Amino acid sequence: MPVAPAGLVRAELDRQATVWAERGHPVSSDHLAALQSVLGTMEGRGSIEDPADGDTREHVPFVLVVQSAVRPAGEAMATTELGGRHGSVNQHAGDIDEFQPIESVGVPESDVYLVIDVERGSEFCGTTPESAVATLAGRGRTPLTVAEGLALLTVRPDVLEKNRCFSLAGSRLGDRRVPAIWISKRAPHLGWCFAGTPHSWLGVASAATRR
């Protein structure tokens, strides 16, 4: 695995923090210092992949999540953009904020944290979410939550592409619905699909770990 060049990881963390600050959610210097230390340790072990290696839309080395910036989801979606068009929430997903992280995800208690080794999961296009989640579990990975998907879309909007959208199966509401982000009228759109229904244009986004 090509390792990220020295300094590139910190520069990317600073860039993502700047994106959040521009949206009115600055990350404190203490939080940034702690996260820089975490990434520095991982970088030293060769655990952070070079962002320039391979298709950077399929794989993102890390995503900075600011919980206060992605709740409620409807307001957060309105701040996302794709080609200058702001995001929206599906009319049938009015209870999206009631979806909670599943137990296996293990979301950190901190309001600010990192999702490490993120994949948008295009390999699962045409596969049911429940089947994809089982495959991910076998690899020691967990699906992204709604909050993490919104964070990914915020700091890396280029990841969302036509026919390469993604479910966020790390958040559920005790029923068969699985949240997802796709493109509608050329803009980001947050809604849900059913766990047992495959879509050729919808994969399942996942992460290796959270710090």
What total number of domains does the chain contain? 1
202 found inside a domain? yes
Report the predicted TM-score, pTM, of the whole model to 2 decimal places.
Answer: 0.93
Closest CA to 98 of 175, 198, 183, 208: 175
Give the domain range for residue 146: 57-210
Confidence band of 156 (pLDDT split at 50, 70, 90): very high
139 found inside a domain? yes
156 found inside a domain? yes
The Cα–Cα gap between 19 and 41 comes to 24
Mean pLDDT of 86-114: 94
**In this predicted structure, what is the pLDDT of residue 1?**
45
Confidence band of 56 (pLDDT split at 50, 70, 90): confident
Q: By CB neighbour count within 10 A (0-12 exposed, 13-18 middle, 19+ buried), where does 56 fall?
A: middle
31 found inside a domain? no
143 found inside a domain? yes
Residue 48 has pLDDT above 90, yes or no: no
What do you get for the CA distance between the two ends of the chain, in Å? Answer: 21
152 found inside a domain? yes
Q: Contact at 8 Å (CB) between 197 and 189?
A: no
19 found inside a domain? no
62 found inside a domain? yes
